[in-house]
Structure 1
Amino acid sequence: MLEENISEKSGFVRLALGIGLTACGISHLVKENGNKTLGMLSITAGSLKIAEGIFLYCPTKAMFSNNVKNAVTTSMQEFMDGDSLMTAFNSRYNSGNQNSNGGNGSTMQQMTQTAAKVAETVANTTQSGTMMEEAAKAIQGVTNNANQKKSK
């Protein structure tokens, strides 16, 4: 059984348009000098619209909504995949490191220095023993560790 994918209002409009298209197609076929090809196309399109209106199902809409749903699902799965995120991160920042200042990794050093400054500011402005201070200490530890690895 086909699952309805259009509303009743849209079905009524499609039914009315289908009847109109079919009538126009028949009139083209009846005329002596009428365009027979246009008449057949109008009758075909009209009958399809009538069927869509009766069954409240549009195959074109179903095809596009499935394709869009699959594309969004695939994109979100790829986006949430850790490997692709790390690949994108590495390509962005590693290529930047090689291109700037002779490839000495100044971009990464700037990032760690900025993180250290933020951590120091947070640690200085929060009360001792708070979660923010602990987070700031953790950030300082990570940046110090990163700076030590860079200097080796």
Structure 2
Amino acid sequence: MDFSIVVRVKKLSGRIGDAISLPRYATDGSAGLDLPACLDEPLAVPPGARVKVPTGIAIEIPHRNIAGLVFPRSGLASKHGISLANAVGVIDSDYKGEIVIAVFNQSDQEYLIKPGERVAQLVFVPVFTATLDVVENLNCSSRGEGGFGSTGRI
């Protein structure tokens, strides 16, 4: 089964491919392309602050039923408290602007993002378009309307 797609990339900065690498998969089994920070100099992220980190690229997703999801890198989150301000960024297929990463520092220490540092990861996923059908009742399930914590802790 081939689950590959071709995504066109536009370099918006002359640093891309020279000082800053194109996004790439770190290993053969990686789900996401690592997104490097396209910076001229290090960027300080104070504790509790949010910053916008440019990537220097724009992409063309080849089909309306594909989206790009930008996730935090687990190592940065677990070791330094660096995550994304919007939890997960969504790149719609019709967006052609620069990919900008909204970084949030959840720690109590300043973090310095270096030029070229991999700050997030980009995963491509299928998108289903839904038609909403308004009904009086929904089909029953064993869970029913049980919400947060309704299935127990363990």
Give yes or no for TM over 0.5: no
Structure 2 length-normalised TM: 0.20
TM-score, normalised via structure 1 length = 0.20
Between Structure 1 and Structure 2, the one with more helix by share is 1
